[in-house]
Amino acid sequence: MKQKETSVAFSKYQVIAIVILALTQFSVVLDFMVMSPLGDLIMKNMKIAPSEFGVVVSCYAFSAGISGFFTATIADKYDRKKLLLVFYSGFIVGTLLCGLASNYWFLVSARIVTGIFGGVIGSISLAIVADIFELNQRGRVMGFLQMGFGISQILGIPISLFLATKWNWQAPFYLIVGLAIVIFTLSFFALKPIVGHLSLQRDNPIKHMWKTISNRNYRIGFLATAFMSLGGYLMMPWGSSFSVNNVGIAQSDLPLMFMIIGLSTISIMPIIGKLSDRFNKYSLFVASSIVMIISVVVYTNLGHVSFTVLVVVNMVMMAGIMARMIPSQALTTSVPEPKDRGAFMSINSSLQQMAGGIAALVGGAIVQQKNEFSPLEYFDTLGYVVIVVISLNIFFTYRVYNFVKKRN
């Protein structure tokens, strides 16, 4: 990989912005990620099948996708700080409703509300990143933002599982609500208004969104992101159930497993971010994709193995997943023009979420379970589908890389 870019140091305010965005991302990611480790508890508590749990996961994604298209009409018309705070408020309300859920349909409804608001926060954050950070800073920024994923596994998911085991599966959502209120307060006082894009707007909102969608170069970025999401959502909802029912890990061992995986993830994220800013982003993406393909084959074909083997395989697979996301997102933020960033990121997030929703439904249709305590069937088939998706994603990301390279 040839050295191509020179790193630029962060200003004091940029550091503050990174902290705020990373904390925001942490809470939203935790709300979404906790569904997978809670999956086995929820399916057994509510006596629902994998396909029904797939609906719980996918309804968040579909509602987030629809919300993202609406947000695209207004994303470049308002102060990005205000948009972030409004949608974050709705996310807090939706998460509280998840904690109050007492039956399957209440939970489905609560996840829809959470998706409407929480599902587009990531796109708003990415637009903010593109507004206040240069291209050769964004890889490191993405690395720090993705650390929210690792921290959620080190602290959030183990603590959430402990609370769920000690009290009930709803308890983690109350924890997230409390954290989110603190993060909202910090964002309100510390984040500056972000209005530089407002002077660039001339079109009405609907026309602006349509021009963004119809831009051929933008569609290349949309397609690459959609396939990135497909690869992740296909397997993720069934992770805890596979570990417990197929590999034979005890439910009480899950918090430790997620903590170890999270520690390894958070350790590698800043390194990948620096490599992404220093070397060819596409080459790094391809190398990470190959690592993920190999680990997916091994993971989905595991039988009864030791806790250590399961953790090591998960660590390698997660490293591949996250190492793909950082250079991919850094490239994607460079696709839109400044005047279109908010709309582009919202549409991109929508397609990402809807692709994830489709993947969760497809995964739920492929994976079968005779009863709530029996092993998952056809999980290896699901792994092979993931490999095909990753391979297609390599091609689509190459097109994004070529476009960004030619323009810059």
Task: Find the CATH number of the domain harbouring 126.
Answer: 1.20.1250.20
Q: Tell me: pLDDT of 262 over 70.
A: yes
Position 79 pLDDT exceeds 80: yes
Q: What percent of the chain has pLDDT over 70?
A: 91
The answer to whether residue 137 is domain-embedded is yes
Quick check: 28 pLDDT over 80? Answer: yes
Q: Is residue 234 part of a domain?
A: yes
- pLDDT, tens only, 231-261: 877 888 888 889 999 999 988 888 888 888 8
Is position 318 within any domain? yes
* 1 part of a folded domain: no
Q: Is it the case that residue 72 has pLDDT exceeding 80? A: no
Residue type, 231: G
Q: Is the pLDDT of residue 1 over 50?
A: no
- Give the total number of structural domains in the chain: 1
Whether 87 has a pLDDT exceeding 90, the answer reads: yes
pLDDT computed for residue 188 by the predictor: 92
pLDDT digits (tens, 9 = 90+) for 176-226: 999 999 999 999 998 888 876 666 655 566 776 778 888 888 888 888 888
User: Which of residues 100 and 78 earns the better pLDDT score?
Assistant: 100
Tell which wins on pLDDT, 145 or 111: 111
- pLDDT tens digit sequence for 279-328: 788 999 999 999 999 999 999 999 999 999 999 999 999 888 878 888 88
Q: Which two tokens stand for residue 231?
A: 């690869």
In a domain, 384, yes or no: yes
Residue 45 falls inside a structural domain = yes
In a domain, 150, yes or no: yes
Instruction: Note the pLDDT tens digit of each residue in 372-403.
Output: 778 999 999 999 999 999 999 999 999 999 88
pLDDT at 114: 95
pLDDT above 90: residue 26: no
Question: 92 lies in which domain range?
Answer: 12-192+205-407
> Does residue 5 register a pLDDT over 60?
no
In a domain, 199, yes or no: no
Is 49's pLDDT higher than 60?
Answer: yes
pLDDT tens digits for range 103-113: 899 999 999 99
Q: In the prediction, which pLDDT does 34 show?
A: 84
Distance CA 391, CA 320 (A): 14
Categorize the per-residue pLDDT at 80 as very low, low, confident or very high, splitting at 50, 70 and 90.
confident
